[in-house]
Amino acid sequence: MAQLSYTIEDINLAGYPTTTVVELKGSVDPETIETFDNIFDELIDAGRKRIAIDFGNLKYINSTGMGILVQYVDQLEEDGGGMVLMNIHPKVLIVLEMLGLQELFKIVATSEEAAAALAGENVTPAEVQVKLEDHGSAAAAPAPAPAAAPAAAAAGSKPKLIRCGCCGAMLSTPSAGTYRCPRCRAALKVNTEGKVETFAINVDGVVELALPPMSPYLDSIDMLVGAACVKSGLSDIETEGMIQSVIGCAGVLSKFCLHNNTDQGALHMFLRAGDGNLRVRLYCAGKALADNSSFEDFRFGTDTLDYEAASTGNLVTLEKTKR
């Protein structure tokens, strides 16, 4: 059973009005959404107007939870207060961006910065503290030519903070070389002075993920599918149904086709969202199933669910159009 707990602490810093820090632990999902909503009722009833939400120990938040944040940030600002977010995980940042909310919320790193931001001061947005994934020899999407030979890497060279020229994320790279941004997947070429050349991936509105077929990687599917549902204009009920259908189908592929064996590759997910329609495709190599009966229990949340088997792998297509 999903759980959500929280603590509320008032921070009083010299020169600033009181800031209330709410630390969340657990998940915000259909089972805990009422608890999440009640947190803000409790804060507002107590007259707290300047609120910092600490996401450091939050494992997951669904699209409905994001909607509650939007509702209350507007209410707080109308009352002369505000809301900022702290310790945002890159996975949550991706969802904020997919929903177009990254400009609505101020994202800070510390309670001191939260107090300053809520007092109207100009606070530099918190950096995304994730390391770049080495692009290596992977053949995906448009990548630059490898960095010139020894330009890269003196052993022991200091990590450099760089900015992705595509999505603006602040990232840490251990040395010169060619990498891929973990947020937007753009290819980045970093020289010894820390200058960055960016090669964006032209995906034409398609989100593509390659996930090892095991937890906790598969657990992140629901968050991105939920964001894509919102982008497609699906209702809360339609969204929850589609999420459960995608998760169920991904579980079937992982269990019966890949057998949790990463040597057989990854589970690939493609999402195309917009204009009232969401299409999700799940593909993996490995053993082909005899028929589509394993997916029938997950048809309830979709308008269309198709399974195709071939000698090279398995493809499941799910589609939902808003009513």
Length of the chain: 323
Nearest CA to 41 out of 62, 21, 68 is that of 68
Question: Is 125 domain-assigned?
Answer: no
Considering only 79-88, 124-133, 241-250, which range has the smallest mean pLDDT? Answer: 124-133
- pLDDT band for position 192 (50/70/90)? confident
Residue where a domain stops, chosen among 182, 199, 216? 199
Judgement on whether residues 188 and 223 belong to the same structural domain of the protein: no
pLDDT at 9 over 80: yes
CA of 283: how far to CAs of 55, 101, 103, 290, 298, in Å?
Answer: 32, 30, 34, 16, 16
Question: Is 123 domain-assigned?
Answer: no
Query: Contact, 297 vs 248, CB < 8 A?
Result: yes
Residue 313: what pLDDT?
Answer: 72
Question: Is 124 domain-assigned?
Answer: no
- CB atoms under 10 Å from CB of 225, counted, come to 27
Beta-carbon contacts of 78 under 8 Å, excluding residues fewer than 6 positions away, are: none
197, β-bridge pairs: 189
Question: Is 127 domain-assigned?
Answer: no
d(CA 46, CA 8): 12
Structural domain tally of the chain? 3
pLDDT digits (tens, 9 = 90+) for 27-83: 888 888 899 999 998 998 899 999 999 998 887 787 778 888 888 888 888 888 999
- pLDDT band for position 209 (50/70/90)? confident
Instruction: Show the domain range for 114.
Output: 4-118
Residue where a domain stops, chosen among 74, 91, 118? 118
d(CA 36, CA 55): 13
Q: Does the model's pTM come out above 0.75?
A: no
